[in-house]
Amino acid sequence: MPKVTIVDDPANGEGKSVEVENGTTVIRAAAQAGVEVPHFCWHPGLSVAGNCRMCLVEIEKMPKLAIACATQVSDGMVVHVNSPKAVEARKAVLEFILINHPLDCPICDEAGECNLQDYTYSHGPGHSAFEEAKNKKPKRVPLGPNVVYDAERCILCSRCIRFMDEIAKEPTLTFVERGDRVFIDTFPGKGLTNPYSMNVIDLCPVGALTNREYRFKARVWETSSTEGICTGCARGCDINIWVRNNEILRLTPRHNPEVNYYWICDEGRLNSFRHVNSKERLNSPMIRKDGVLQEVGWDEALAHAADALKPFAKDEVAVLGSAYSSVEDNYVLQKFARQVLGTANIDFLRHETEGNQDGFLIRADKTPNAYGAREAGVVSTKGVDANRIFDLISSGKIKALYVMDDDVVTTKEREELLAKLDVLIVNHWVRTRTTELADVVFPSATFAEKFGTYVNFLGRVQLSRPAVSTQEQERVPGRFNMSRLDKFGSPFDKWNKGPRRNVRSSWEIVSAIGSLLGGKMRYQSAQKVFDEVAQSIPSFKGLSYARIGDRGALLKKSKEEALVR
C-alpha cells in the first residue's frame, strides 16, 4: 500500500503519514489523514470532474500545482495542502469564481451552510481586481416541480449534471451557452421530474439550486438539526430533521453507506413528515360520552381504557400493532397482548404498493418497520393474522380491539365491521376514520417526537431521536437531553418556541394501561424498553442504543433465515 505524507501546516514540514490503497486520490488520502482540502466540484459519491480548481495542492518533485481530486497518490509522495503557492492559487480561483457572483447572501437560502461563503472567508483574497458590471443571468427558474435555479449564483461545478447522469440514470441537465454566459438548463422538452431530483439541492455547494417549498422559510442557524430515520418506506434512509418553532421545515439525507449512501428520494423528503405538522394532530386523549368523543385528561382516559377491557375473555380481544411504530412500541404492545390480555389475536397491517419500487432506494413496502414489528413479536403464534382478526370481528367472536398507530378503516365494509365492536381503543397521531369510530383515543408521539428503533428491509436496526419537543418531555424532566441534539451548539429550545403537543409514546400508553390491569410493565424510557428487547429477543442480542450508533447494526439471523437468503 502506498504511503503518503500530508503536510497541513507549512510551518511544520513533518505532516501526517498514512497508508492508502492503490488508486487513492490525494483528496481522499488527505481526508484519511484528517486534513480537509477545499473543493467545490468534487464529491465522494460522484465521478471526478476537476473543473473548479479549488483543490490545488503542491506536491514535492512536481513542477506545477496539482488538483487533489484527480491526482492519484504514489508511494513516498509528500503533499503540501497549505503551502504559500497553493494558498495564492486558491485566492486566485476564488477571485475568478466571484467575478460575476451576485451579493445575494442576505436573501440566499444557502447562507450559513454555503461552501463559497466559508471558503471565501478562510481562503479568499479579500478584494477583487474586477470592477466591471456583473453579468446578468436567469433567476428563479423552475427546473422542475421542486427545484428552483438561480444561474447568477451557479459556479458551474457540474455536480447536479453528474448526479442526474450517474446516480439518477436520467440525463436531464446540461451546460448551455459558453464562456461567461454559460448556465445550466434541462434538455428541450424535459423537466427535472426524476424521483431523486431534489438531491441536486444538497449537492449544490452554493445557493444556485434551492428547495421550492423551503425557500425563504428560515435561516439555517435558526433551526436545530437532529439525526433521524425516514419513515416513508422500508429502506429507512438516514436523514437530518430541521426544526424551527417546533415545526419540521425540511428533511435532508444523512450519509450512511449501508443504507442510502448520500441520497434520499423526493417522496420521503417531502411527505414522510407531513403528519407531524398536520392540523389534524390529536392533542388530548378522548373518551366517547353520549355518542360523542370528548377530550379528557390522561389519567381518566387510561383508567377508562383499562376498565373497558376488563370484562372480556382473552379470545374476545384482539390487538393490531403497526409497521409505522418503533420496535419499542411494538414490543410493549405484544407483551401487553400476551401477558396482560392473554390473547393470541395479534398482528399488524401490511402496506405495500405493488409496482412502486425501483432498483435504487424506493421500496414497495411503505412502512419503516415491518421487519422490526415481526421481530418484536407482533404476529400470532397460532396463525391468527389481520384478515382472520377481521373475520372474527365479523362473526362476533372478537368484541374488543386495540389499534396502535394505524388507520385500519380502508373501506366502507371495514368501517361497518368496526362498528360492530363493543370496545375500540386507538392510539394515533392524527384524526382518521378509525379514531372517529373509537371509544377511547390516545394521541401518540410521531417518529420525530420520541426515541425509537426501526428495522429496515435488510434487517438493519437504526435509532431515531426526537427533533420536536412535546409536553411529555417537560413532564418527565431528565428523560430527554434535547440540547445535545442541536448541531450548532446553541440550546435546543432557542428557536423552538412553538406549542408542545400533549402526546406520549405508544409504548408508554400501552404499558400504563397494562399496569392498571395488573401487569408488570413499568418502563422509565425507550432505552430501558430496548434493553429488555435485547435481552429477550435473540436477533437483538448484544445490541444497545450505544452500539447501534449513527449507522445502525444488523440483526442476528437464524440459521433458517440464513439458508433462505
How many Cβ atoms from other residues are within 10 Å of residue 267's Cβ? 18
- In this prediction, residue 496 carries a pLDDT of 61
- In this prediction, residue 64 carries a pLDDT of 95
The residues facing 404 across adjacent strands are 427
DSSP string, 446-478: -GGGS-EEEE-TTSEEEEE---S-BHHHHHSTT
All residue ranges of the chain with pLDDT < 50 are 477-492, 559-560, 562-565
Cell of 562: 440464513
Question: Which pTM does this prediction carry?
Answer: 0.92
- In this prediction, residue 557 carries a pLDDT of 78
CATH code of the domain made up of 3-97? 3.10.20.740
Output DSSP code: residue 501.
Answer: B
Q: How far is the C-alpha of 413 from the C-alpha of 407, rounded, in Å?
A: 14
Cell of 349: 397491517
Angle, helices 327-335/506-516, rounded to nearest 10 degrees: 20
- In this prediction, residue 474 carries a pLDDT of 57
Q: How far is the C-alpha of 500 from the C-alpha of 281, rounded, in Å?
A: 12
Residue 285 contacts by C-beta under 8 Å, 6 or more apart in sequence? 295, 296, 297, 298, 300, 301, 302, 440, 441, 442, 443
Secondary structure (3-state) at 133: coil
CATH class of 286-564: alpha beta
CA geometry: angle 274, 276, 279, nearest 5 deg: 80
Could you write out the three-class secondary structure of 340-391?
Answer: HHCCCCEEECCCECCCCCCCCCCCCECCCCHHHHHHHCCCCCCCCCHHHHHH
pLDDT, tens digit, 9 for 90 and up, residues 537-554: 999 999 999 999 999 999
- In this prediction, residue 127 carries a pLDDT of 82
pLDDT, tens digit, 9 for 90 and up, residues 198-238: 999 999 999 999 999 999 999 998 899 999 999 999 999 99
Helices assigned H by DSSP within 173-325: 199-203, 266-271, 274-277, 298-309
| 107-114+132-274: CATH, from 2.40.100.10, 3.90.1150.10, 3.40.630.20, 3.30.70.20 | 3.30.70.20
- In this prediction, residue 482 carries a pLDDT of 43
Q: Is 105 exposed, middle or buried (0-12, 13-18, 19+ CB in 10 A)?
A: middle
- In this prediction, residue 269 carries a pLDDT of 96
- In this prediction, residue 492 carries a pLDDT of 46
Where along the chain do its domains lie?
Answer: 3-97, 107-114+132-274, 286-564
Q: How far is the C-alpha of 474 from the C-alpha of 497, rounded, in Å?
A: 14
Segment 55-58 long-range contacts (CB within 8 Å, at least 24 positions apart): 55/27, 56/86, 56/89, 56/90, 56/93, 57/26, 57/30, 57/81, 57/83, 57/86, 58/83, 58/85, 58/86
- In this prediction, residue 488 carries a pLDDT of 37
- In this prediction, residue 489 carries a pLDDT of 37
Distance between alpha carbon 103 and the CA centroid of its chain, in Å?
A: 32
- In this prediction, residue 272 carries a pLDDT of 95
